[in-house]
Amino acid sequence: MAVASSSRIECFDTRDWRRLWSVPVELTSDAAGPCAFSANGRWLGVSLNSHDAVLLDAVTGRILARFKPPAPPLVLGVEFNRNDTQLLAATMRGLYVWDLAAVRRELAALGLDWSDERSSPGTAPHR
């Protein structure tokens, strides 16, 4: 389970309520930032500073990718499409969509893709 506040995002294991990780956020208001789990539970889409969409590893809290809309608008919401191939960020200027498979292909070509080794069945946090 993820809990977002104006100062941090924390992820807890619902089996024993142990905190798995905590990531600081720097938002422009006192409201909690947007966050959404991918359908498969491996990723968490968040905004850490109100001006970007960030892909976190849901088990470790590690930043996997950071996406910045052009002329950074305020990110109001973050969501994944149904099959986790796109990360969407809603802003006052519109909806921005990133193709995660294409991003991973480009990162892999540079030797920078993130590992999915820990993403075996049963390792994703409970939502």
The answer to whether 23 touches 49, Cβ cutoff 8 Å, is no
State the Cα angle at 19 between 47 and 123, rounded to 5°.
85
pLDDT for position 117? 54
Write the single-letter amino acid at 80.
F
pLDDT for position 114? 81
* C-beta neighbour count of 38 within 10 angstroms: 20
Cβ burial of 56 (10 Å; 0-12, 13-18, 19+) is buried
Residue 4 C-beta-side C-alpha neighbours within 13 Å: 20
Asked which of 1-5, 58-62, 83-87, 114-118 is least confident by mean pLDDT, the reply is 114-118
Write the single-letter amino acid at 73.
P
The pLDDT of 37-46, averaged and rounded, is 95
| Domains in the chain with CATH codes | 2-109 (2.40.128.630)
pLDDT at 118 over 50: no
Distance, in Å, from the CA atom of 5 to the CA atom of 65, rounded to the nearest integer, reads 21
Over the stretch 58-104, which tens digit does the pLDDT of each residue have?
A: 999 999 999 988 876 788 899 999 999 999 999 988 899 999 999 98
